[in-house]
C-alpha cells in the first residue's frame, strides 16, 4: 500500500480508503448495503490488514448507524485509534426539525458532537462538509469549523461535492482570515465520468488540495457485471439505485477496452478502473466500498496493477470528455505560451 500526503499537509493517508456506506442499511441507504456488526468487523479487519489506514463515513449514512458500526468495529478489533485516519461529514438531513440540516454553526457543532459519540472517539481526523449550503454563508460555516479545530475535536477540514468557484471562494476566505483551509475535496471521479477535469482538477493541483474519489466504479457500471448487451440483466447496485448519472454509450466503449486488458493481466474490469484513477496525479485516495469480502479483495489488488503508455493512451482516448468552451479557447490562445 502506498501512502500519500493529504493535500498541503504532512498527514499520510493510504491510497485506498475504506468507504462505509454499505454499513447499516437504514433509511434510504438500504439499497446500497445493510451490513451488520459481524460482516463490518470482517471487512474492517481485511482492509486494515491490507494496509488501509483511512476510513470514510458520514452522519447521514444509515441515519448514523454507519458511524456507530465503524466505531464499535474499531473497539471490537482492538485497533489503535491513533493509527487510523477517520473521516466523516456534515450537511445532510438528520431529523425533521427546521435546523436539522445545513452548514450553520448550530448544526455543525451539534453534529460533530453526535459523530464523536457514535464513533466512540474524542477527535475526528478529517471533518468534511458534505455539499454546499445555499442558505448559510461560508463565513459562518468556516468559523464553526475553525471552532472545532481550535477545540481539538477536529484535526483537518475538507469539502465534498463543491463547484470550483465555491471551493476557491472558501479557500480564499480562509487564507485572508487566517482560518483552517479545506485540505481535500471528496468528489465523483471515474474513467467513465471525467467531468472533474474541466475546472476542479486544475484548481486542486494549483492550490494543493487533495482529491478523495467516491464511486470510482461509476455506481457499479464498471464492476464487470454490466456490458452493453447485458445491462438490464445484471444484478447489483445499479439495478435498484441508478446513480450517479453516466453516459452509458461512452461507459460501455470503455468497458469494451478494459475487458481484454483485464483478461491479459489476469484481473478484473473493476480493478483496472480503480488502477486508472491511482495513476492520476491529482488523486490522493480512492474510496472503495464493499458488501462482500471478494469485492474488497478485488479492489485491494488494484494497487499492484499498471498500464503501458500505449494502454493509458488507449483508455484516455476512449474516455475523453467532449471539448467545451472555454477549454478549447484557452488551449487555442495559450498555444504561444507553451
Residue 22 above 90 pLDDT? yes
Lowest mean pLDDT among 42-46, 137-141, 144-148, 241-245: 241-245
pLDDT grade, residue 59 (50/70/90)? very high
* Predicted pLDDT of residue 291: 95
Mean pLDDT of all residues in 122-142: 98
Mean pLDDT within 118-144: 98
For 276-296, write each residue's pLDDT tens digit: 999 999 999 999 999 999 999
Q: Is residue 164's pLDDT more than 80?
A: yes
Q: Residue 47 above 90 pLDDT?
A: yes
Q: Measured between alpha carbons, how far is 69 from 79 in angstroms, rounded to an integer?
A: 14
Q: What mean pLDDT value characterizes the chain?
A: 96
| CB burial string 36-70: b at 16+ within 10 A, e below | eeebbbebbebbbebebbbbbbbbbbbbbbbbbbb
Q: Say what percent of the chain tops pLDDT 90.
A: 93
Residue with the three cell numbers 460533530: 112
Specify the 3-state DSSP secondary structure of 91.
coil
134-143, 182-191, 240-249, 325-334: the lowest-pLDDT one: 240-249
As annotated, the active-site residues are 61
What pLDDT score was predicted for residue 338?
86
Copy the grid coordinates of residue 30: 438500504
pLDDT of residue 231: 64
pLDDT given for residue 250 in this prediction = 94
Instruction: Concatenate the DSSP letters of all residues of 141-206 into one string.
Output: HHHHHHHHHHHTSEEEEEEES--HHHHHHHHHHHHHTT-PPEEEEEEE-BTTB-GGGTTHHHHHHH
Amino acid at each position: 500500500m502506498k501512502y500519500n500526503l493529504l493535500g498541503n499537509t504532512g498527514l499520510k493517508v493510504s491510497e485506498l480508503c475504506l468507504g462505509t456506506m454499505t454499513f447499516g442499511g437504514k433509511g434510504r441507504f438500504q439499497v446500497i448495503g445493510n451490513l451488520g456488526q459481524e460482516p463490518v468487523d470482517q471487512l474492517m479487519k481485511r482492509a486494515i490488514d491490507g494496509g488501509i489506514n483511512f476510513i470514510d463515513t458520514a452522519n447521514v449514512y444509515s441515519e448514523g448507524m454507519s458511524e456507530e458500526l465503524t466505531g464499535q468495529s474499531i473497539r471490537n478489533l482492538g485497533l489503535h485509534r491513533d493509527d487510523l485516519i477517520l473521516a466523516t461529514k456534515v450537511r445532510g438531513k438528520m431529523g425533521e426539525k427546521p435546523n436539522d440540516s445545513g452548514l450553520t454553526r448550530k448544526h455543525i457543532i451539534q453534529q460533530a458532537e453526535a459523530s464523536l459519540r457514535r464513533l466512540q472517539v474524542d477527535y475526528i481526523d478529517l471533518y468534511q462538509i458534505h455539499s454546499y449550503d445555499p442558505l448559510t454563508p461560508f463565513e459562518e460555516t468556516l468559523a464553526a469549523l475553525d471552532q472545532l479545530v481550535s477545540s481539538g475535536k477536529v484535526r483537518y477540514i475538507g469539502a465534498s461535492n463543491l463547484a470550483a468557484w465555491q471551493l476557491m471562494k472558501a479557500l480564499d476566505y480562509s487564507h485572508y482570515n487566517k482560518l483552517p483551509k479545506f485540505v481535500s475535496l471528496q468528489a465523483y471521479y471515474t474513467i467513465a465520468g471525467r467531468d472533474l477535469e474541466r475546472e476542479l482538477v486544475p484548481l486542486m493541483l494549483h492550490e494543493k488540495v487533495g482529491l478523495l474519489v467516491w464511486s470510482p466504479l461509476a455506481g457499479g457500471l464498471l464492476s464487470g457485471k454490466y456490458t452493453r448487451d447485458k445491462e438490464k440483466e445484471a444484478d447489483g447496485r445499479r439495478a435498484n439505485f441508478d446513480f450517479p448519472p453516466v453516459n452509458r454509450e461512452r461507459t460501455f466503449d470503455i468497458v469494451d477496452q478494459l475487458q481484454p486488458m483485464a483478461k491479459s493481466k489476469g484481473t478484473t474490469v473493476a480493478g483496472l478502473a480503480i488502477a486508472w484513477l491511482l495513476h492520476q496525479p491529482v488523486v490522493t485516495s480512492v474510496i472503495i466500498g464493499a458488501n462482500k469480502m471478494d469485492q474488497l479483495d478485488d479492489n485491494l489488488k488494484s494497487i499492484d496493477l499498471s498500464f503501458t503508455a500505449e494502454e493509458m493512451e488507449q483508455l484516455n482516448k476512449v474516455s475523453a470528455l467532449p471539448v467545451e468552451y472555454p477549454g478549447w479557447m484557452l488551449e487555442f490562445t495559450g498555444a504561444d505560451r507553451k
